[in-house]
Amino acid sequence: MDTGREDLVETAGLIVRRAGPDDARAIAEVVVSGWQAAYRGILPDDFLDSLRVDAREAAWREMLLRDMDRGTPAWVAERGGQVVGFVSSGPPRDEDVPRPAAEIYAMYVLPQSWRHGLGRSLLDTAGAHWKGRGSRTLVLWVFEANVRARSFYEAMGWQPDGGRQELVIGGTAAFEVRYRTSVAD
């Protein structure tokens, strides 16, 4: 059921709503759990095992507080009153992305909720938001070695656009590739 409010969408027991500072802890828990499950074999185990919710919570609280102008929105997906996923977005960080555009900065879902439609609902919500603000293109970065995520994005119609960058995380170099999709009519 669509509630008619841009910041709240409910479908089949899943509620996607605008995130606020009070969601910081739940988002941090999703991030840590998501990183530890999705990036095992991509990033060093000792780095992944060292991730702590408290540190991530503080960072997310600050980011969500800074979004008071609503220029970098995030949404959470709730099922049964529990946050099970989130997506954050904002203006593209890369100069070579044709404007008007937006970027998906992060999207994670609790591993036990993978393959239940949450990622699709979160991306659809962010896409509708940015389309409503005139964006024609969405981009995101994903680890090149993250085959599961890349397959998901491709099934949703996203395509690699040739962007590639190297990151050093936990003392290990990992490459990301940029994906792009159109949200134009």
Residue 6 has pLDDT above 60, yes or no: no
Query: Tokens at residue 123, please?
Result: 């991306």
Report yes or no on 185 lying in a domain.
Answer: no
CA distance 58 to 53: 9
Amino acid at 106: A
Report yes or no on 156 lying in a domain.
Answer: no
Q: CB atoms < 10 A from the CB of 164, how many?
A: 12
Report yes or no on 152 lying in a domain.
Answer: no
Q: pLDDT band for position 113 (50/70/90)?
A: confident
Domain count for the chain: 1
CA distance 15 to 18: 10
Q: Is 178 exposed, middle or buried (0-12, 13-18, 19+ CB in 10 A)?
A: buried
Q: Look at the chain and count its residues.
A: 185
Q: Could you tell me the CATH number of the domain that includes residue 119?
A: 3.40.630.30
CA distance 76 to 25: 12
Q: pLDDT band for position 3 (50/70/90)?
A: very low
Residue 70 has pLDDT above 60, yes or no: yes
CA distance 130 to 91: 10
Residue 11 pLDDT: 67
Report yes or no on 167 lying in a domain.
Answer: no
Report yes or no on 164 lying in a domain.
Answer: no
- Domain extent, residue 32, equals 8-136
Report yes or no on 141 lying in a domain.
Answer: no
Report yes or no on 172 lying in a domain.
Answer: no
Report yes or no on 116 lying in a domain.
Answer: yes
Compute the Cα dihedral for 180, 1, 129, 146 and give only its sign: negative
The per-residue pLDDT for range 11-40, each reduced to its tens digit, is: 678 999 999 999 999 999 999 999 999 999
Residue 133 pLDDT: 94
Residue 1 has pLDDT above 80, yes or no: no
Helix (H) or strand (E) holding 28: helix 24-38
